[in-house]
C-alpha cells in the first residue's frame, strides 16, 4: 500500500509504502486507543455519577455495587456453610469420644463424673510477647481440617482400646474369682490333710465352707453347666465349664437349681448348701480344675488367711 504526500512546502511529492507489518501495528494501536478511551470514559462517568444528582446514574452505580455486594455475600455464605459443616462433624465426633470415654471409665472402674467429660478443660497463661494476629479464613479452614483428622484418629484408637478392655473384662467374668457362698467359715483348705472318716493323710482337692442348710450357692464365674447330678461321693454335684480349660465343682448340695446345658452368669444362684454324699456335716465343697487337674482355689479367690 502506497501513500503519496503532496505539499507546497515540499519540493517534490513523497511516497510512503505501508506493508502488512505496518498495517498490523497501526490496527493494534487503534484498538488500544479505543480501550484506553473507553476506560477513561468509564472512570469519568463513575466519578461524575458519584458527584452528580442525576437519578439514572445513581441507580446504575447502586446496581453495580449491589451486584458486587451480592457476589461477596454469596462467597462468604458458601465458606460459612462449609465451616458450619466442619463444626457439625467435629461436634458429632466429640460426642462419640465422650461416649467411648464414659464406657472406658466404667470398664476401668472410674466414675464418669470424676473425669468431667461434660466440662471444658482448664486452660490459661500470661499473654505472649510474640505479636498476635487474626486467623484468615484459609487458616481457620486448615485448622478445622487438622482437628477433624486428629479426632478421627483418636476415635479409632479409643475404639480399639474399648474393644480390648471389653474383651479382657469379659474374660475376667469367666474366671472363678467370686466366693460361691456368702458368709460361713472355712473348715478345710486345699492340699494335704487328715481324712475325717479314716484318719489317714489324704489330699483334699478343694476347700470346704461351712454354712447353714439351704444357704445359697452362687456360680463363681459365668459358664455352661456340664454336670448336674447325684454323685456317690460328692452327693448333689454341679460342674460349670468356664472355657480356657477351667471347670468349677460344687458338691454336697441339698438342692440343685440348674440342669445340664444351662448357661449361668457370674453370681447366679445354682444350688443350696447341704450334706449329701460323703460329708460329716452341712457345708459346701468347692473345687477349681484346670485341664482336668485340681488347682488351689486361692489362686483365683480372695480367701481369708
Please give the pLDDT value at position 304. Answer: 46
Taking the C-alpha atoms of residue 195 and residue 201, their distance in angstroms, rounded to an integer, is 6
Kindly provide the b/e burial profile for residues 159-193, where b requires at least 16 CB atoms within 10 angstroms of the residue's own CB. eeebeeeeeeeeeeebbbebbbbeebeeebbbeee
Residue-level pLDDT, tens digit, the chain, 305 residues? 566 655 556 566 666 666 677 667 777 777 888 777 777 776 666 565 555 555 655 565 566 667 777 777 777 777 767 776 777 777 777 777 777 777 777 766 666 555 555 566 666 677 777 777 676 777 777 777 887 777 777 777 777 666 666 656 666 667 888 889 988 787 888 999 988 888 899 999 999 999 999 999 999 999 999 999 999 999 999 999 998 889 999 999 999 999 999 999 999 999 999 999 999 999 999 999 988 999 998 888 754 44
Contact criterion met (CB below 8 Å) for 141 and 83: yes
Amino acid at each position: 500500500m502506497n501513500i503519496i504526500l503532496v505539499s507546497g512546502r515540499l519540493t517534490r511529492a513523497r511516497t510512503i509504502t505501508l506493508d502488512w507489518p505496518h498495517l498490523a501495528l497501526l490496527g493494534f494501536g487503534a484498538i488500544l486507543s479505543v480501550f484506553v478511551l473507553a476506560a477513561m470514559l468509564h472512570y469519568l462517568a463513575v466519578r461524575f455519577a458519584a458527584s452528580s444528582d442525576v437519578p439514572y446514574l445513581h441507580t446504575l452505580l447502586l446496581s453495580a455495587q449491589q451486584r458486587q455486594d451480592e457476589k461477596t455475600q454469596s462467597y462468604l455464605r458458601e465458606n460459612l456453610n462449609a465451616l458450619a459443616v466442619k463444626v457439625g462433624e467435629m461436634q458429632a465426633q466429640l460426642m462419640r469420644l465422650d461416649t467411648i470415654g464414659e464406657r472406658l471409665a466404667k470398664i476401668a472402674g472410674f466414675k464418669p463424673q470424676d473425669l468431667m467429660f461434660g466440662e471444658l478443660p482448664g486452660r490459661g497463661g500470661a499473654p505472649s510477647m510474640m505479636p498476635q494476629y487474626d486467623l484468615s479464613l484459609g487458616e481457620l479452614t486448615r485448622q478445622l481440617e487438622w482437628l477433624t483428622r486428629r479426632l478421627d484418629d483418636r476415635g479409632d484408637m479409643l475404639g480399639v482400646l474399648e474393644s480390648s478392655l471389653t474383651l479382657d473384662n469379659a474374660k475376667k467374668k469367666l474366671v472363678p474369682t467370686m466366693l460361691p457362698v456368702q458368709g460361713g467359715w472355712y473348715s478345710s483348705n486345699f492340699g494335704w490333710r487328715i481324712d475325717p472318716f479314716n484318719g489317714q493323710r489324704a489330699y483334699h482337692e478343694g476347700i470346704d465352707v461351712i454354712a447353714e442348710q439351704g444357704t445359697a450357692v452362687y456360680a463363681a464365674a459365668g459358664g455352661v453347666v456340664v454336670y448336674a447330678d447325684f454323685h456317690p461321693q460328692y452327693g448333689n454335684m454341679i460342674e460349670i465349664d468356664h472355657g480356657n480349660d477351667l471347670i468349677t465343682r460344687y458338691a454336697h448340695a441339698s438342692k440343685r437349681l440348674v440342669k445340664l446345658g444351662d448357661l449361668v452368669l457370674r453370681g447366679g444362684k445354682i444350688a443350696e448348701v447341704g450334706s449329701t454324699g460323703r460329708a460329716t456335716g452341712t457345708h459346701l465343697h468347692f473345687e477349681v480344675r484346670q485341664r482336668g487337674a485340681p488347682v488351689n482355689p486361692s489362686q483365683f479367690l480372695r480367701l481369708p488367711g
